[in-house]
Structure 1
Amino acid sequence: MLADKAYDADRIRASLREKGAFAYIPPKANRRSKPYFSTWLYRERNLIERFFSKLKHFRRVATRYDKLAENFLAMVQLASMRLWLHRL
């Protein structure tokens, strides 16, 4: 699980460990024992967050005008293609 520094708590890490998941959470500065943290994986998470932020600029996606899941997914795909083409 990828999360922000706000989720750096021993109880959250223990809960994830019980469920068989790995916690990739950056440690807080005041933490005594710093657990393993992948900076590369955290950067990839940032890319995904920025993509969703750009996707929400499309009014139809942000407000979810479409009632059917298929129509909403189609609009998300169209918006994604438009963002991708704009980048080229």
Structure 2
Amino acid sequence: MSALTAEQCSDAANLGAVLDAICVPRPCRGRPRKRPTCVRVDRAYGARYYRQQIQQQGIRCVCPERLDAKKSRLSKGRRGGSPPRFDAESYKGRNVVERAINRLKDFRAVATRYEKRGHNFSATVLVATIILWLL
């Protein structure tokens, strides 16, 4: 399940809706989990507000520190606090999702979003995903 928004909307502004739509399937029987153990996100989600939103749900946030945040933290000296934890090895797995999204964008209807209605666009993405899976 995913949260579908208008094309011009910011991803970061809809982070709460995306977190609520998460369904992690279990390897055996049972209801899907609503919380993954960790979320690997881009630097755009490195702001304190977004990190707190993710961590309030009990999810570990794996995100490199933004350069402007680091500069601001260092300019405050001791009052700036310590840098947020960052697991570089875990973050390397994020490129798999990025590559999958870029493969989906090879389909013109997905990249340009010709469909006006959300359910039609979701169906287009689903068909493109099935085609990629079959290849």
Q: TM-score range by the shorter chain?
A: 0.5 to 0.7
What is the count of residue pairs matched by the alignment?
Answer: 82
CA contact (8 A) 1:2 1:45 kept: yes
Which region of structure 1 is more displaced relative to structure 2, 68-77 or 33-42?
A: 68-77
Equivalent in the alignment of 2:40: 2
TM-score when normalising by structure 2? 0.46
Matched, 1:35 2:81: no
Flag the structure with higher helix content.
1
Describe the shift of the 1:42–1:64 C-alpha distance in structure 2 as closer, same or farther (beyond 3 A): farther
What are structure 2's unaligned runs of at least 5 residues? Answer: 1-38, 75-81
**In 2, Cα distance between the equivalents of 1:59 and 1:78?**
14
Match status 1:79 vs 2:132 = yes
Q: Return the TM-score normalized by structure 1.
A: 0.64
Rate the CA distance shift 1:73–1:34 in 2: closer, same or farther, 3 A: same
Ranges in structure 1 where 5+ consecutive residues have no aligned partner:
83-88
Relative contact order, CA 8 A, sep 6+: which one is greater? 1
Distance in 1 (CA, whole Å) between partners of 2:62 and 2:125 is: 31
